[in-house]
Amino acid sequence: MSAELEELYQSIILDHNRRPKNFRDMPDATAHADGVNPLCGDQLTVWLRMDGESVADISFRGQGCAISKASASMMTQVVKGKSRADADKLFDDVHALVTGRAGAQAAELGALKALSGVSKFPLRVKCASLAWHAMRAALHGAGGSVTTDQSGGESAS
């Protein structure tokens, strides 16, 4: 990755961390799930309001490192208005991105590519994927709490 690109990615993440999008409770949510990443201390809640099969609204609140917050903020921006199936696909794409298996589809991820730098740092991968695991849990009505405190961070099921 070039130094310029790395700088751009850094600034996207810092910007979302400072001014997170959709950072609010959602009283009329139809689903929510908590995410906990004990390795870093990240904690967040993701709310969804489904309209049939599409995500009419999505928000989050919580505290954690810049990566976890920026990832959650960007997630709310891209997932809003998507169908359940598209949100699932985004989960897969982002998961591939942050674990360094992005391949061709990364071209469609836009600003989310700022998260690609974490693939070199296993602990940061959990930070970046936390909100996404919570979103998927809420999306499939699992609710409750997901934690990354298992090998590979694949504990949402």
Binding site for Zn ion (CB under 5 A): 40, 42, 64-65, 68, 127
Tokens of 37: 């990443």
- Tell the smallest beta-carbon distance from residue 104 to Zn ion (Å): 28
What are the two backbone dihedrals, phi and then psi, of residue 85, each rounded to the nearest 5 degrees? Answer: -65, -40
Whose Cβ is closer to Zn ion: residue 31's or residue 125's? Answer: 125
Other CB atoms within 10 Å distance of the CB of residue 108? 12
Tokens of 21: 């999008």
How far the first Cα of the chain sits from its last, in Å, is 34
| Rounded Cα gap, residues 129 and 26, in angstroms | 21
Whose Cβ is closer to Zn ion: residue 108's or residue 149's? Answer: 149
- Tell the smallest beta-carbon distance from residue 19 to Zn ion (Å): 18
Whose Cβ is closer to Zn ion: residue 71's or residue 76's? Answer: 71
- Tell the smallest beta-carbon distance from residue 153 to Zn ion (Å): 12
